[in-house]
Structures are given as C-alpha cells and as structure tokens.
A and B are shown apart, each in its own frame.
Chain A
Amino acid sequence: MSTHSEDHIYVVGAGHAGGELAFALRQQGYAGPLTIIGEEGHLPYQRPPLSKAFLKGECETPSLYLRQQAAYDKANIGLLLSRRVERLDRAGKKLIFDDGREVTYSKLALATGGRARRMTINDAARAERTRNFHYLRNIDDVLAIRSRFEAGQRLVIVGGGYIGLEVAASAIARDLNVTVLEALPRVLARVTAPQMSAFYEQIHRNAGVDVRTNVEVIGLDFDAEGDAVTAVHCTGGVVIPADAVVVGIGLLPNTELAQAAGLDVDNGIVVNEHAATSDPDIVAAGDCTNHPSVFCGRRIRLESVPNAVEQARVAAAYLAGKPRTYDSVPWFWSDQYDLKLQMTGLSQGYDQFVLRGSMQNKSFAAFYLKEGRLIACDAVNRAQEFMIAKRMVAACKPFDPVALADETVPLKTLAPPLQAAAPPA
C-alpha cells in the first residue's frame, strides 16, 4: 500500500477490536501513520476477565493488556488515551475532540464498542452518585466493585445474564452473600434454552446464590448521607438489604458519533461484508457494528471477543486495499465455578433442543435445531465436542437428533471431517 504524506489512519476506540485492528493494519502492510484513540487511560485490554479473575483479585491491570507499550512502540502505533472524540466531520475528514482540538484522517476505523445499559428507575441517577452502586464495563468499574468484595458483604446483582452470573460466581468464591434479581422468568433467557437456564439457576443456588426470577427492581433505599445504597425494592413488596449493588442488564452500542456524522445506523453501525460503513473511507468493527452474517443469513450485532478480533482483521484488510469477506460463525464462552461453557452458533428461533450427556454430571452438549438444521451448540465441560460442534454448526446442515443425543455414537463420526493436515513445521 502506498503512503502519502497526508495519510493518517485513526482508530477510534481502544478495546479489543481497536487494538487488533491497528496491529492487523501493520500485518496487512500499511506502514503510514496510525493512531488509536481511547477514552480510558489504558492500553487496549481484554474485558472477559473483568467479571472473573480480575474481579476475584487473581490478576492485576497490566496482565489484562493485550499487548504492552513496547509492542506499540515497535509497531509505530500511536496512542491517544484518556481522549474523547466529540464529533466526526466526514466532509473535512476531521475528528474533533471534546477539548476542541482536531486531527485529520485519511481513513478511519470506528471500534467504539458499547457501554453498560443503565437502569431507568427514578432512583438510578441518584444511585450512580453513591459509592456502592456499580455497572460493569471497564477496569475502573471493577476496581470499585472489587473494593467491596469482602467476605460476608451482601451483594445484590441486578440482571441474570452472563455478566450477572459470572459476577455471582466470583462473589461466591470470595464468600459474599449474593442475590441475583432477574426481571424475566428465567436467567439467560435471551440467549439460551429453558433447560440451560434451569441448569444454571440450580448451579448458582447450590453454590449459595439467592436467585430470584420474575423480579423487577422498582426502587432503592439510601443511607442518611445519601452516599450509599442500603436496600433494593422489588415488585411484590420484597426489600433486599444490600452492602453493594452491581447492575448487569445489557450493553448499548456506542453509535452516536457515527449517527451524528450521517453514517447508516440501525442497532449498531451498519457495515457491509468487508466491514465498510456507508462511507467508503470509514470501517467499523466489534460490538458496535450491525453486520451481515453469512452464517445466519441476516444482519446481526454481536457482543463477543471473537467477533471483535475477526471483524477487526477484515476491516484492516479492507483499509489496506485487500478486502475479504467476514464469514465467521459466532462463538462465545463463559466460565462460572467449575463449569467451562463454550457456545457456537446462535440459538434464536430453534424448534428442537437435544441434550447429549448429563446435566447432573455437569458434562454435556446441548444442540439447537431449526427445521432439522443444526444452528447452535452449548457445551459444558466438553471442550472436544465443542470443537467438533463448531464444524457441525458451520456446515449449516441437518443432523439426526437421535444420533446427536446418543453417547455411544462418537460425535466425531457425525461431523464433517477435518481438512487436510498441515504443511510440515
């Protein structure tokens, strides 16, 4: 790729997607000026440990960084951290910061990610000014929560999604008294089958978590000074005393910058199969994008690290003039207690649930079929079957549900074969 003196690629957003995108640009041969802009004061870091090892205090901030400063220096990637882009001027190809300073880009990558969805009850704004009411999205959030992680403290978690349940498992490991409040009739309701929800509810109850479903938060109590939440009021007149509250009720994509600049936005920044936005000089990648999924046959927005990394590479390839199609099958993981959950595909719209193995023994794979076709698999403590299921789900074809459930039939015999072996090392 040729470099003109006025070339300068900026990456807005210093999360997993932003960090990967910058290094991928270098790997794709872009040698010109390249800068990542991030609102937080941190190098791009991995978020999954925030609700797990980092929350439990088992690792510290530098170990979250995807790469250390020396790697950026070596790759000649600039970092503008603790800086917020206020406006994108596409006509002038400028980024305007909140302090009025501006830079000019030749090409732009938006990796703006998302932010924690906030509670909308009246008391929420007041609660956000207290010292023991927290959302969970970044390092600073978790450092604040971690300071409350003392044995015997009463932790109320609002939201029974993956974040809420991972926080619950981490808090149990630190001997807190934990309550999870879920507004829907079951935990993980948006992402998995009722059987999986029941399994995870039982696991958490056995570990000592007070899991309450069909419960909505309607108000909060504060101490006399107003600087701490002391109790959570729920529908049905239930009042739960709290030493700390963590709210994990979903993520909102950060699309405002793109929207104000006139880019197409529809539950995410709309991109094509090459990760290009409606402006050919601007790409987007990660949690903030609404992208076409070859696998699903429709547009989707994903909140996942594999999507962030793989889409960032596709976006970098496009900017480097070597476009390729983003066609990954979604996959996710969640670690709670002694359960290693790995998921592939998207289960929405399934009409048949097939269980292979034993929930009681905490070792199983759950298959989701739609009109006979395998569309997703959730594997618990079955890493090898997960790897096989990835190939099966990617194949987009029907599988015999009886064979899927039959443990005397090795899953491998049902799956498409691995392709030819590697070239010699």
Chain B
Amino acid sequence: MSIRLNVVDRNGGEHEVETAPEGSLMETLRELDYGVAAICGGMCSCATCHVYIAPEWLDKLPQQQSDEGDLLAELQFRQDNSRLSCQLQLQPEYDGLRLTLAPEE
C-alpha cells in the first residue's frame, strides 16, 4: 500500500507524492529533485530537512524530542509549525499529510 503526501515546494508549486508508509518523511522528501538536502542523513545533527506542517496535521504527529527542538530553535526560518522531517516516521495514518518545504538556511 502507499500513502499520498501534499508537498509544496520552495517556489510554491504543489505536488502529490505517493510513498510507502515506512522510513522517515525525510527519506521520501530526499528522493524528490526539489526535495531536502538532509545532509546528516537523519542523525538530527544538521536541520537541513526542515519542513512546515499544515496546522491541521500538527497535533496528529508525535511530540518533538529535545534535539529536534534544540536545532529548530536556532533556525532563521523557524515557524510554530516547523518540524525536522527526519524525526517523523511515516505511518499509514499520514495519508493526506500536507507540508511545505522550508527555505534553505
């Protein structure tokens, strides 16, 4: 089975992305040619997989762990709905998840 994500790229373009509900959100976004750099590969060390989650989805995602919050706190483009996509494991329930790629720092 697969789920669909609604991804808004950095130029405002909207994309429907079909993916398997496994691995991290970052791994799916990294595949896209407009995707995330994800320099550290998911170690929560670099904050280059920064996304904005649509407000209606924020409460449905697991809470931030401390490292994620620490990195996000110091990003120039941080917003209240910021998350690091490497820290979100895709689930079947995330079908329809809407998100926007944050500008690169």
A422 touching B33, Cβ below 8 Å: no
CA distance A383 to B27 in the complex (A): 22
User: Which residue of B has the minimal Cβ distance to A52?
Assistant: B43
CA distance A407 to B45 in the complex (A): 22
> How far does the Cβ of A3 sit from chain B's closest Cβ, in whole Å?
18
User: Which residue of B has the minimal Cβ distance to A313?
Assistant: B37
List B30-48 residues whose CB lies under 8 Å from chain A.
Answer: 30-34, 37, 39-41, 43-47
CA distance A27 to B34 in the complex (A): 7
Given the known A-B contacts A23-B33, A388-B74, are A383 and B39 also in contact in the complex, defined by CB atoms under 8 Å?
no
1/0 contact string of A387-411 vs chain B (CB within 8 Å): 1100100000000000000000000
B41 touching A49, Cβ below 8 Å: yes
Q: List B contacts of A423 (CB < 8 A).
A: 103
B70 touching A387, Cβ below 8 Å: yes
> How far does the Cβ of A162 sit from chain B's closest Cβ, in whole Å?
14
A306 touching B46, Cβ below 8 Å: yes
CA distance A66 to B36 in the complex (A): 11
Interface of chain B, main secondary structure: loop
Q: Which one, A69-77, A146-154, A241-249, is touching chain B?
A: A69-77
1/0 contact string of B17-32 vs chain A (CB within 8 Å): 0000001000100111
Q: List B contacts of A422 (CB < 8 A).
A: 76-79, 102-103
B23 touching A383, Cβ below 8 Å: no
Q: List A contacts of B32 (CB < 8 A).
A: 71
> How far does the Cβ of B55 sit from chain A's closest Cβ, in whole Å?
9
Q: List B contacts of A48 (CB < 8 A).
A: 40-41, 43
CA distance A299 to B66 in the complex (A): 37
B45 touching A383, Cβ below 8 Å: yes
Q: Count contacts on A: residues with CB < 8 A to the other chain.
A: 35
> How far does the Cβ of B105 sit from chain A's closest Cβ, in whole Å?
9
Q: Does B71 contact A (CB under 8 A)?
A: yes
Q: Does B61 contact A (CB under 8 A)?
A: no
Number of A-B contacts (CB under 8 A): 81
Q: Does A358 contact B (CB under 8 A)?
A: no
User: Which residue of B has the minimal Cβ distance to A387?
Assistant: B74
Q: Does A421 contact B (CB under 8 A)?
A: yes
Q: List B contacts of A66 (CB < 8 A).
A: 30
Q: List B contacts of A49 (CB < 8 A).
A: 41
B79 touching A425, Cβ below 8 Å: yes
Q: List B contacts of A68 (CB < 8 A).
A: 31
User: Which residue of A has the minimal Cβ distance to B103?
Assistant: A422
Given the known A-B contacts A75-B33, A423-B103, are A387 and B71 also in contact in the complex, defined by CB atoms under 8 Å?
yes
CA distance A306 to B41 in the complex (A): 11
Q: List A contacts of B103 (CB < 8 A).
A: 422-423
Residue of A335, A383, A384, A387 with highest tally of chain B CB at under 10 A: A383
A305 touching B40, Cβ below 8 Å: yes
Q: Does A122 contact B (CB under 8 A)?
A: no
Q: What are 24 sample pairs from A and B whose C-beta atoms fall under 8 A apart?
A: A27-B33, A46-B41, A48-B40, A66-B30, A71-B32, A71-B33, A74-B33, A305-B39, A305-B40, A306-B46, A309-B39, A333-B43, A333-B46, A340-B44, A340-B67, A384-B74, A387-B73, A391-B74, A412-B74, A421-B77, A421-B79, A422-B79, A425-B52, A425-B79
Q: Taking beta carbons and an 8 Å cutoff, which residues of B are in contact with A?
A: 8, 23, 27, 30-34, 37, 39-41, 43-47, 52, 66-67, 70-71, 73-79, 81, 100, 102-103
Q: Taking beta carbons and an 8 Å cutoff, which residues of A are in contact with B?
A: 23, 26-27, 46, 48-49, 63, 66-68, 70-71, 74-75, 305-306, 309, 333, 335, 340, 342, 382-384, 387-388, 391, 412, 418-423, 425
